[in-house]
Structure 1
Amino acid sequence: MRDHGDGDGAHDADGRRVRQGWTRCLLAGAVFVVCMAGTTLPTPLYPLYQREYGFSELTVTVVYAVYAFGVIGVLLLAGNASDTVGRRPALLCGLACAAASAGCFLLADGLTWLYAGRLLSGLSAGLFTGAATAYVMELAPPGGASRATLVATAANMGGLGCGPLLAGLLAEYAPEPLLLPFAVHLALVAASALVLLRLPETVTDRRPLSTVRPQRPALPPEVRAVFVPASIAAFVGFALFGVFTSVSPAFLARYLHVDNHAVSGLVVALAFFASTAGQLAVGRVGVARSLPLGCAVLFAGLLLLGAALATDQLALVVLAALVGGTGQGLAFRAALSAVAQAAPADRRAAVISTLFVVAYTGISIPVIGVGLLADPLGLEGAGLVFIACMLTLIVPAAAYLLHRPIREPSGTGGRTRKP
């Protein structure tokens, strides 16, 4: 009887540890959601800022793209900081940047504040993206790696989708549309900091911040055959998100007469939620098939967006968000897995950083290009030029992948591309 009781006690203790692990994992995921939501919070508000300050589409796209420069800067200078100083200090710093970003938008009385807010938002995302993903997975109980990856993926892209949805709802149905969304987010950031302080640190070998070194991009010869088509797919997917996030609210208002901020926020949110579904589907479809399939779905999403621009149909805009988001999710997660498998173990982090730099370049330079063309060609014309450029990139990448498919990652450290 005593042995049986001891067994029950051990079983109960194991059950408590598992429940505690998942509780911590989900709390870290919730903090991840809050930070990422702040990066897309201004999306449905850009038309209001245009009316408030009287700036052009080019200015909107530059304000948006400043975010990407912040992310790239952190990835290059301190992308591995959480491995050195610990997850919690890096994430607390990210939350501090998120709070400062919200403060800039609350105080905004001109473009300078908007630029500062977007730059700080980019810094917060750069600090969070890798560190929070690792933290969520490390807090999960043993044997929960797959489910923890699902939590991290859903928190990342789901958080990005929650930002425009929250801001759109508050801007449409609550007072002070340019203030309340950021006040709410600031409160959520403060609550997230309290949660983070209650969670344990997972990095045991912590070193001083002075030991953090810039992480130079790298592209070893054995990676290039996989990296080129993978990076093109990542670039196009992020560029599509960038254009959708920065100018779709203005397009919906100007050409489709959709002045409801909640609707414009929902349309953008659908793209991010679809991306989450696409990333989750990679586990079922497999990396080898997901990368060319993602390129094909991105192609379809671009065509739908072109049809929406040409016909001014809201249904096509929604379809473009869903299809394009799914393609982005499929292509990016498969690209990340394929590149990580192809890279030598001692240079894997640097190669992955290179892929992220290429991806985030996609939400800056093409977006600014659309802004430059919007004045002479109009938003519709600029959008069609953008789509044509992206199609010329994605079609050869898809054709190459069909001709020389990558191998399914095996975890053996072998080559990932067929000879």
Structure 2
Amino acid sequence: DKYDKESKQSMYSSGITEENLEKIVFTYKEAAAFRMEWCEENPGEIEYSAYGNPAVATDWEKSKAALNSTANLLAKDFERKKAAFEYSRATTSKTGKLDPLKLHAYKTSEDIFLTTTQLAQAKSHGIILFLDLSGSMCEIIEDVTAQAITIAMFCRQVNIPFEAYSFTSTSYWRQEGKGIRDIECKASEMNVEGCKIVEMFSSKMNKKTFDEAAYTSFAIAKAHSYSNRMKYHLSSAYLHAVDGMGSTPLIQTAMLAYKITKKFTNKHAIQNTNIMFLTDGYPDGIHVVEDSKTDVKTSREIMINFEGKMVRGQGGREIYKNVLHRLKELTGATIMGFHLAYDASTFGSGYVNVNEDKDFPDVIKAWRKMGFSAWKNCVGYDDYFIIKINRSARF
């Protein structure tokens, strides 16, 4: 027998089908319908839910003003620099390229733009943001959601197209009969059962819908938060399955990002798309559906077909890194990663495979002092940041 059954080869996956990619993404309209359905079915629990608690609505009105104020300052600075650039057309100038670190930090300094040389013309921008809604985000979900809302408000004011999504998974017992679509995966396909990427808000929304969507994201974050500062009670138990926390399907989300980015870029004629991933963890492992008719021993390495090219890796981190490289090839977008940390342990989780030559205590010390660490062309991202999140910072 020329084929040695004892030899091991890489496990092959045909990837995720178009049909299943469609099934794991939920539009804002679809999610809103699920929430309304939940309220109709659970009238006695609405007061404990993010969907109908009157105290959280009052809280939002106060917080909304503060977030809008920050977005206004960012927008004014952006327009001022844009006008200066269009007037000067200098050889060395402000590029008009958004500095995501400054968006994170709510800065309105001169460095809202990155300085570069030999600039020919300003480019049109677009932002696609994916926010981790896994269970470990409970400690920081309020702060991170506030930043996502502020970025969206800023983009609306300066007419930058944007789309924001949450991503996580749903446990099997919660998804049954709750609108989370059943997914059938055939042999060699990646199993994406339970994955959900839910639209939070986007630039295509009118003002009324955007305000509603921003409030909903605010309220859901409150329900998931571990904060003991709230003067009212919300519970994540009183949420529809579409808004529940789960694990961290980063690989699946990055593969879906190609489909979303392609549609987004074509619709808005974007020259410079920025894809942002905000997460506090590392990617889930992936499961490939086995073919019961074969008898092949496979190694730990997995080969995944991602839009006609094989992406290889052993373990979630390596596969995710190579999926990001392929996403870059397919879209030409700037891929940005924001690892969200609040102590040495959570920093270390994001620092794996970043820079092993540096002395870790020195790196931690600098991060604590500056509030962030940044690298270029790192772990699959064009720009990678480990951001210090203050757990006590609330809306």
Q: How does the TM-score come out when normalised to structure 1?
A: 0.25
**Structure 1 or 2: larger strand share?**
2
**Structure 1 or 2: larger helix share?**
1
